[in-house]
Homo-oligomer: A and B are copies of this chain.
Amino acid sequence: MAEEGTSTRARHTDVREPVGEDHPTCQLRDILDRVGDKWSVLVMHLLGAGPRRYSELQRAVEGISQRMLTLTLRSLERDGLVERAVTPTSPPRVDYALTPVGQTLSAQVAELITWAEQHRAYVAASRARYDAS
């Protein structure tokens, strides 16, 4: 909170394309759906710290169902963001890790997280103020 005027770091560096028209939106949706996915980001963020096994992920993201974890990993693997390494031992062992490209996206997400931390109080205050009226 209390940073109305201080954090006016308006970086208009980007290319403000006519997002709504036709094609720019679609490509955008692709990546946004990925980031917007309830679990994908959490999993990617966890994998950002290093490879993990299936069960480790399931415990780490405690609250995720097997179904969703599998679905999420499959989707990330399909997009080439996560790599799946199977070790056919007596009890099967599967390790997941970010691919180089996956790491770059993970980095972007990390920045988003930083943003969230920096402006969390502000958002909370805004909501409280809004809800009060």
**Which residues from chain A sit less than 8 Å from chain B, CB to CB?**
3-5, 7-22, 24-25, 27-33, 35-38, 41-42, 45-46, 48-49, 59-63, 77-81, 99-101, 103-105, 107-108, 110-117, 119-120, 122-123, 125-127, 129-131
Task: Give min CB distance, A119 to chain B, whole Å.
Answer: 6
Beta-carbon contact of A115 and B108 below 8 Å: yes
Contact among B5, B108, B120 for A100, CB-based, below 8 A: B5
A79-B19 contact in complex given A27-B116, A27-B117, A30-B120, C-beta closer than 8 Å? no
Contact among B21, B41, B111, B123 for A108, CB-based, below 8 A: B111
Neighbouring B residues of A37 by C-beta, 8 Å: 36
**Number of identical monomers bound together in the oligomeric complex:** 2
Beta-carbon contact of A32 and B130 below 8 Å: no
Beta-carbon contact of A16 and B48 below 8 Å: yes
Neighbouring B residues of A107 by C-beta, 8 Å: 9-14
A19-B111 contact in complex given A27-B117, A36-B37, C-beta closer than 8 Å? no
Contact among B8, B12, B36, B42 for A19, CB-based, below 8 A: B42
Neighbouring B residues of A32 by C-beta, 8 Å: 35-36, 38, 41, 112, 116
Bound: A43/B24 CA distance, A: 13
